[in-house]
Amino acid sequence: MELERTNDSFLTTQLDQIIGWARKNSLWPMPMGISCCAIEMMAFAGPRFDVARFGSEAFRFSPRQSDLMIVAGTVTYKMSHVVRKIYDQMPDPKWVIAMGACTSSGGMYRSYSVVQGIDLFLPVDVYVSGCPPRPDNLLKALMEIQKKIARGEKPGQSDKVYIEESAEHA
Amino acid sequence: MKDLLLQKLREQFPSAVEVVSEFRDELTLIIRKADILPVCSFLQSNSDLSFDSIRDLCGADYHRPDDRFEVIYNIYSLKNNFRLRLKVRIDEKDLHVASVSGIWQGANWLERESYDMYGILFDGHPDLRRIYLPEEFEYYPLRKDFPLMGIPGSLPLPRK
Amino acid sequence: MDQDPKLRILHALESQDTTVTFDDPLENEMILNMGPQHPATHGVLRLLIRLDGETIVSLVPDLGYLHRGYEKLAENMTFHEFIPHTDRLDYLSPLANNVAYVLAVEKLAGIEAPPRAQYIRVICCELARLTSHLVWLGTMAMDVGAVTVLLWGFREREKIQDIWDVLTGVRFTTSYTRIGGLAQDITPEAITALNDFLDRFPASLDECEKVLNKNRIFIDRCEGVGFLSKEDTINFGITGPILRAAGVDHDLRRDAPYLVYDKLEFNVPVYYDCDTLARFYVRMAEMRESVSILRQALQKLPSGPTNAANPKRVLPQKEKVYGKMEELIHDFMLVNFGINPPIGEVYHAIEASKGELGFYIVSHGEGYPWRLKIRSPSFSNLQALPAMLKGRMISDVVAVIGGLDPVMGEADK
C-alpha cells in the first residue's frame, strides 16, 4: 500500500479546514427562483424551515455577492441563457443546487421549449427530487453541500449527490 | 338576450352569420371572415348589446383540407351579463384576418399569441411579433404538424 | 450608423450586443432592462423601460421566459393526465386551478359532482384564494418596504399548507380534484384543523393591517400610483380585484355561479379609486370574505358520496380496483383511453384569486382534447402595465407590479 505524499504541510491543511468551515457555515444562496419551486424556496427561507440558522442569512439577489445558486423552477430555452449568464457572473468557488424535477431532468414537461435538465449547460452539485421538493429536502441538500465543502471537494467536479423524496419530515 | 342579439345582427349584417350553434347553454356564431371587423365594432358600440370586454382570443388548427384554421373570440357584456363566442374560419392559403385590437385593447397580446403559436397574420395590428418564443424561432408550435418534443437545434442552448 | 440612437440601444439590448458605442452619451434617454432575474418582478418577467432621468417614457414587457408548452402538452394526454399540470399554472393557488379545469371537463362531458364534493371544492377554492392573497400581501409589502409582513404572511401560509397536507396528502401542488369528484374525502381531522385556523386567522390579518393601513409611507407609495380609468380597465379585458378596484361590481361567483356559490352569502368588495391602494383594500376585504365563506361551507357540508356515480367516466377508488372486476376494467379503460366526452366545445371560467381563469376545450370525441386554451388572468392583466406606468417614476414600477399581482406560470403558460 502506498501512501500518497502531498505537498500540503500541517499548517496549510489546517488553514484549508478553517476556510472550509467558514465557507460552509456562511453559504449565501442566489435564489434563481423561476416558478413553483421558488415558492417552496421562499418557504425554506421563511419562519418555519428557517435557513438562516444554517448560515444562509442573506438571500442576495445579486450574483456578485453569493456563492451558491439554487435553480428553482422550470428552465426554458429562452431562460437558459439568462441562468448561464448569472452563473458566469458569480465569483469562484460556486456551487449549484438543482431543485426539483424540472431542473434535474425536465420534469413533467417533455415539450419543445423546456430544457431537459440544467446539467446540459451548468455543472450541478446536488440534485433534489420532488415537485416541488419539501423544504426539508432542500435543507438536506444544503447540508450535503456543506459536507462537500468540509471534505474539500472542488465544486462542479465531485460526485453528484441525489436527494430523494422521503417520508420523514421535521 | 340571445334573440335580441340574433335579430340585431341579422338586421345589420344579413349575410355575415354563417352558422348559429348552441352546446351546453353557450352560444357560438360562425362569422364570415370578411365581416368580422364590422360585426365586432357593431357589437361593442351598440348600447343595447354593449360587448365591452374581450375575454379570450385564440386560434385552433383543425387539420382539415380546406379552412384549416379558426380564430375564436370570447366576448362578454358586463351590462347584460352575457357571454358570446364568435368563430372565423381561415384557409391555409390566405392566413390573414382583420385585427380587433382597435376595438378592444385587450386583444393586442392575445393576437400576438395566436400569431406566435399558429402563424395567423392579423392585418392592422400595431405590433405583430412573437410573444412567447424567441424572435428567431422559425416554426409555429401549436400546429398539428409540429412535434411535441420540438425540432432539435431550433432553439439554441448556452455552452457548458 | 445613421440609425436613431434610441433604436440602436434597443436593438443592442435585445441582441445582447455589448460592443455598441455612442458619440454623446448624455444626450440619450436610458433604456433600463429590469431583467427576468429580479427580486421584485414576481417571477420571470422582463421589462424594457425607456427612462428620461427617473421618469418612465415607455415600457415594454417581454414574456415567454416560462413558456412550457401547456397547450401542446394538453393535446397529447388524456383529460385525467392533465390535472397535475393545472396545479402549476397559478402556482400560488393550485387547488383553484384544479377545480377550474375539472369543472370545464365536467361541463363538456355532462357529469355533475355530488353536493358534498361541491362544498369541499368551494372550501378548496377559498383556501387557495387565501394562500394566493397572503403571498401577494407579503411580496407587495416587501417590495414597497415593509419586510416584516412577508414573514407574517408566510407564517399564516404554512398553517394553510398543513391543512392541505392533512386534506390532500401534499403540501403544495395538490392535484386533489378528479373528474366527477375528488381524490379522497375530507376527514374530521382536517375539519378540526380548518376550524382552528379560521378562529385565529382574522387576528393575524388585523395585525398586518395595523402595520400597513394607516402607514404614511405605504399610503404615499401606493396612492394614485398605477391609475387606469374604468373604461380602459374594461376595454383591456382585465378581471379580478383590479376590476373591482376600478368601481365595476363584477364577480363570477355571484354573476355566473358555479359549484354552490349561489347557496352561500358573501359580499363583493368594490372600491372606486382605480389605483394600487384601492387594489390593496379590495384584496384585504376579499380575504375576510373568504373566511366567512369558509365558515358557511363548513357548517353546511352535507354527507354523502364524493364522486359522481358514472362508472364510465369517473375513476374508481383504488381499493376497489385491486379487488373487483368491473372497477379494474373501468380503471384500465379510463387510464388508457380517456373519458371520451361528446363532440363539442365548451368554455368554463371561475373567479380565481387573480381574475377570470377559464378553460376552453374543444373535443372531437376522443380521450384527448383536440384544443385546450387556458384563459389566464395574469396575461390579460399584464397588458395594461405600460398604460398604467406612463409618466410615472421608476420606483413606482415595483408598487404597480405588486398591485397587479401577476404570476408568470399562468401568464406564460
pLDDT, tens only, A92-101: 888 999 998 9
Question: C28 with C109, same domain?
Answer: no
- For C225, which DSSP code? T
Backbone angles phi, psi at C290, to 5 degrees: -60, -40
Residues C42 and C76 in one domain: no
The total number of structural domains in chain B stands at 1
The string of DSSP codes covering B46-100 is: -TTT---EEEEEEEEE---SSS-EEEEEEEEETTTTEEEEEEEEE-TT--EEE--
Q: How confident is the model at residue C360 (pLDDT cuts 50, 70, 90)?
A: very high
B1, B40, B53: which to substitute to probe chain C, counting the most C Cβ within 10 Å?
A: B53
Percent of chain B whose pLDDT exceeds 70:
100
Q: At what angle do helices B36-45 and B2-12 cross, to 10 degrees?
A: 130
Cβ neighbours of A82 (radius 10 Å) = 20
**Lowest-confidence region among A51-55, A76-80, C24-28:** C24-28
* Among the listed residues C1, C39, C80, C15, the one whose alpha carbon sits nearest the alpha carbon of residue C314: C80
With beta carbons less than 8 A apart as the criterion, state whether C113 and C186 touch. no
How many separate domains does chain A show? Answer: 1
% residues pLDDT > 90 (chain C): 34
| Phi, psi angles (nearest 5°) of residue A127 | -105, 130
Question: Burial, C147: exposed, middle or buried (Cβ in 10 Å; 0-12, 13-18, 19+)?
Answer: exposed
More confident residue, C26 or C283: C283
Q: Which of A107, A102, A106, A143 is nearest to A125 (CA)?
A: A143
Residue of B35, B42, B2, B40 whose CA lies nearest to B16? B35
Residue C405 has pLDDT above 90, yes or no: no
Could you tell me the strand order of the sheet in which B69-77 lies? B17-23, B26-31, B82-90, B69-77, B53-61
Q: Which residues of A touch B154 (CB under 8 A)?
A: 112
C371 has which bridge partners? C362
- CATH (domain of C75): 1.10.645.10
DSSP code of A34? -
The pLDDT assigned to C116 comes to 92
Instruction: Suggest the residue from C380, C381, C382 to mutate for an interface test with chain B (most B CBs closer than 10 A).
Output: C380
Tens-digit pLDDT profile for residues B115-129: 999 999 999 898 888
Residues A99, A127: contact at Cβ < 8 Å? no
Whole-angstrom distance, CA of residue C134 vs CA of residue B138: 41
* Domain assignment present for B77: yes
Q: Are residue C282 and residue C171 in the same domain, yes or no? A: yes
- What backbone torsions phi and psi does residue C228 show, to the nearest 5 degrees? -140, 125
Answer yes or no: is C316 within a domain. Answer: yes
Cβ-Cβ contacts under 8 Å, C39 against chain A: 61
What torsion do the CA atoms of C379, B121, B142, C370 make, to the nearest 10 degrees?
Answer: 90
Average pLDDT over residues C57-85: 90
Q: Distance (Å, rounded) from C-alpha B33 to C-alpha B98?
A: 8
Residue A20 lies in a domain: no
In which domain, by residue range, is C22 found? 5-60
Identify which of A39, A76, A81 has the shortest CB distance to residue C91: A39
Q: Are residues C354 and C296 in the same domain?
A: yes
Asked if the Cβ–Cβ distance from A73 to C66 is below 8 Å, we say yes
In a domain, B139, yes or no: no
Rounded Cα distance, C395 and C55, in Å? 9
pTM of the model: 0.90
Identify the H or E element spanning A6: none
Nearest to B106 among C235, C346, C413 (CB): C235
What's the rounded Cα separation, in Å, for the pair C296 and C126? Answer: 12
Its ipTM equals 0.93
Task: Select the residue of C69, C383, C412 nearest B106 (Cβ to Cβ).
Answer: C383
Q: Determine which helix (DSSP H) or strand (DSSP E) holds C50, and give its type and residue range.
A: strand C46-52
CB-CB contact of A125 with A149 (8 Å):
no
For B3-24, what is the mean pLDDT? 85
Question: Which residue in chain B has the smallest CA separation from C382?
Answer: B109
Q: Between C349 and C147, where is the model more confident?
A: C349
Out of C65, C91, C161, the one facing A79 most closely (by C-beta) is: C65
Long-range contacts, B35-40 (Cβ 8 Å, 24+): B36/B73, B36/B86, B36/B88, B36/B97, B36/B98, B36/B100, B37/B98, B37/B100, B37/B103, B38/B13, B39/B9, B39/B13, B39/B86, B40/B73, B40/B75, B40/B86, B40/B100, B40/B103, B40/B104
Check CB contact under 8 Å for C234 and B28. no
Strand order through the sheet with C55-62: C30-34, C46-52, C55-62
Record: contact B58-C110, CB cut-off 8 A: no
The rounded distance, in Å, linking the Cα atoms of C376 and C358 is 7
Tally Cβ neighbours within 10 Å of residue B70.
Answer: 19
Under 8 Å CB-to-CB from A40, ≥6 apart: which residues? A72, A99, A132, A133, A134, A135, A138, C172
Does some domain include residue C65?
no
CATH of the domain at A121: 3.40.50.12280
In a 13 Å sphere around the CA of C186, the CA atoms on its Cβ side amount to 25
CA angle C293, C296, C301 (to 5 degrees): 120
Separation CA C375–CA C231 (nearest Å): 21
Cβ of B134 under 8 Å from any chain A Cβ? Answer: yes
Domain presence at residue B128: no
- The mean-pLDDT minimum among A6-20, C81-95, C116-130, C145-159 falls in A6-20
Mean pLDDT confidence for C22-33: 71
A139: domain range?
Answer: 28-163
C23 & C134 share domain: no
Phi/psi at A78 (nearest 5 deg)?
-65, -35
pLDDT for position C379: 92
| pLDDT at residue C323 in the model | 86
Asked if C242 and C315 sit in the same domain, the reply is yes
Residue C29 pLDDT? 76
Q: Could B149 and A111 be called an inter-chain contact, meaning their C-beta atoms sit closer than 8 Å? A: yes
A111–B150: do the CB atoms touch at under 8 Å? Answer: yes
pLDDT recorded at residue C21? 65
CB B119 within 8 A of CB B95: yes
Q: Indicate the length of chain A as a whole number.
A: 170
Count how many domains chain C has. 2
Helix axes C276-300, C188-212, angle to 10 degrees: 160
In tens, the pLDDT along B62-120 reads 888 888 999 999 999 988 888 999 999 998 888 899 999 889 988 999 999 999 999 99
- Give residue B21's domain range: 2-123
Confidence of residue C280 (pLDDT cuts 50, 70, 90): very high
β partners of residue B87: B30, B72
Average pLDDT over residues A39-68: 86
Q: Which residues of A touch B159 (CB under 8 A)?
A: 121
| C53 and C168 both lie in a single domain | no
Residue C36 sits in the same domain as residue C159: no
Q: How far apart are CA B151 and CA B155, in angstroms?
A: 8
How many whole angstroms separate alpha carbon B85 and alpha carbon C251?
20
In one-letter notation, the amino acid at residue A140 is K
Mark residue C307 as left, alpha or beta (left: phi above 0; alpha: psi -120 to 50; beta: remaining): beta
Give how far A82 is from chain B: nearest CA, Å. Answer: 9
- Phi then psi for residue A92, to 5 deg, are -70, 155
pLDDT surpasses 90 at C31: no
Is B105's CB within 8 Å of C383's CB?
Answer: yes
What pLDDT is stored for residue A42 in this prediction? 87
Chain A: residue nearest C71 by CA? A111
What is the CB neighbour count within 10 angstroms for residue C12?
Answer: 16
Give the closest-approach CA distance of B57 to chain A in angstroms: 22
C-alpha cell at B156: 439554441
Q: Of C314, C309, C310, which is closest to residue C177 (Cα–Cα)?
A: C314
Q: Do residues C79 and C367 touch, judged by C-beta distance below 8 A?
A: yes
Residue A114 has pLDDT above 70, yes or no: yes
The answer to whether the Cα torsion of A88, A94, A95, A97 is positive or negative is negative
- Tally the C-alpha atoms within 13 A of residue B8's C-alpha that lie toward its C-beta: 16
Say what the alpha-carbon torsion angle A144, A146, A147, A148 is, to the nearest 10 degrees: 90
Residue A95 pairs in a beta bridge with A68
DSSP class of A129: -
Shared-domain flag, residues C51 and C80:
no
Cell of A94: 460556486
Same domain for C306 and C337 = yes
- B106: domain CATH number is 3.30.460.80
Q: Please tell me whether residues C31 and C170 are part of one structural domain.
A: no
In DSSP terms, B84 is beta-bridged to: B75
In this prediction, residue C284 has a pLDDT band, given cuts at 50, 70 and 90, of very high
Distance from CA of B57 to the nearest CA of C (A): 9
Question: Is residue C46 located within the same domain as residue C188?
Answer: no
With 70 as the cut, is the pLDDT of residue B5 above it?
A: yes
pLDDT of residue A170: 38
What pLDDT sits at residue C281?
93
Q: What grid cell was written down for C62?
A: 417581454
